[in-house]
Amino acid sequence: MISSGQFFDGHASKEKLASSRGSVLHEVKSVGVLIVGIGNMGGGMAANLLAKGWKVVVSDTDAQKVKFWVSKGAKSLNDQSNRAQAATDSIAIIICVVDALQTEDVLFGEHGLADNLQAGHTVILCPTISPQDVESFANRLAERGIHTIDAPMSGGPARAADGTMSLMVACPQAVFNQQAVLLNALSSKVFHISEKPGDAARTKLVNNLLAGINLVGAAEALALAQRLGLNIEKTLDVMEQSSGQSWIGSDRMRRAIAGDYVPRAHVTLLEKDTRLAVECALAAGFEGPLGAAASNVFARAHAAGFAEQDDGAIFKLLSGK
């Protein structure tokens, strides 16, 4: 395994340092990375790494998604006759599935990857799951000598594709250093939260709880503006330039008021994330006034039939349109 610690030889000349960086970068790009789960975010990461010249191997239960990314230059794990070798021949495995159940299946199921990995390999966990699940997966992998990087993402598919998403990371410093080249290729906004897997998951839940609260707030405000007979496009113009502005409010409500509910992020995702955040809060003995209320709105949207629509459908729910 290549360590980015090679980058920090204080006795090396600038020329040798640059040469070393270039050599390491070329080597890790050639070894490549395996991405399991190539939906919106996993696909965005694949696009980003392929554009930067990385070797990317993909795996997904959706054969059409695999076929698409193979057409873009990726290799398919499903086509590999030697699954163990294909899994091991990567600088790291990025798990980008939806939830803990899918993560369990990918790692420890009937054809789980954990059985194919050698000690010293690294698994990067990107799903938004409970901190307790992250800790459990990390402990079980550690029993096999496999490193875990707790690395949930934020920012959406477009930012994953251009490498500007936020990447929250929790892992020992040595593992962080070892995978620095890959992490920095994935994102220009890498936050090393702590050395304890689970802390990045906690950070992501806190962030997504705020995102959910902001989205419900923006949808409620625009639904009220509509009921008051205001031009909601102009109202959103004002909100975007005033104290009511939020990124997720602007992003989702612009599409919603145009009637665009094609899913970039399904209602079910923030439904899950806000629920997990509220559960995490209660386990810590904290109960705030807004989190549970926002979470309930996403649950209502699901029950109303909007589960597979973009989460901007919260506007549709609250406006009654």
Rounded Cα distance, 192 and 225, in Å:
41
Question: For every one of its 321 residues, what pLDDT tens digit does the chain have, with 9 covering 90 and above?
Answer: 333 333 233 334 444 434 444 454 555 677 789 999 999 999 999 999 999 999 999 999 999 999 999 999 999 986 555 566 667 778 999 999 999 999 999 999 988 899 889 899 999 999 999 999 999 999 999 999 999 999 999 988 999 999 999 999 999 999 999 999 999 999 999 999 999 999 999 999 999 999 999 999 999 999 999 999 999 999 999 999 999 999 999 999 999 999 999 998 899 999 999 999 999 999 999 999 999 999 999 999 999 999 999 999 999 999 997
Q: Shortest CA distance to 36 belongs to which of 71, 61, 55?
A: 61
CB 65 within 8 A of CB 38: yes
CA-to-CA separations, 277 to 98, 205, 212, in angstroms, rounded: 16, 5, 10
167 and 18 housed in the same domain: yes
217 and 190 housed in the same domain: no
Q: Shortest CA distance to 74 belongs to which of 106, 40, 33, 124?
A: 33
**How many residues does the structure list for the chain?**
321
Please report, for the domain that includes residue 226, its CATH number: 1.10.1040.10
188 and 207 housed in the same domain: no
Query: What is the predicted pLDDT for the residue at 24?
Result: 47
Query: What is the predicted pLDDT for the residue at 115?
Result: 87
DSSP secondary structure string for all residues of 65-127: HHHHHHHTT-EEGGG-S-HHHHHHSSS-EEE--SSHHHHHHHHHSTT-GGGGPPTT-EEEE-S
Number of structural domains (the chain) is: 2
Query: What is the predicted pLDDT for the residue at 1?
Result: 33
Catalytic residue numbers? 204
Q: Shortest CA distance to 48 belongs to which of 182, 160, 188?
A: 160
Residue 97, token pair as written in the block: 């599935």
Range of the domain at 244: 203-319
Q: Shortest CA distance to 274 belongs to which of 217, 315, 199, 213?
A: 213
Query: What is the predicted pLDDT for the residue at 78?
Result: 67
Rounded Cα distance, 220 and 147, in Å:
44
CA-to-CA separations, 182 to 29, 106, 149, 166, 167, in angstroms, rounded: 8, 21, 12, 14, 12
Other beta carbons within 10 Å of 260? 12
57 and 9 housed in the same domain: yes
Query: What is the predicted pLDDT for the residue at 77?
Result: 84
38 and 175 housed in the same domain: yes
192 and 209 housed in the same domain: no
DSSP secondary structure string for all residues of 172-211: -HHHHHHTHHHHHHH-SEEEEEESSTTHHHHHHHHHHHHH
Model confidence, pTM: 0.86
311 and 165 housed in the same domain: no
Query: What is the predicted pLDDT for the residue at 264?
Result: 87
190 and 210 housed in the same domain: no
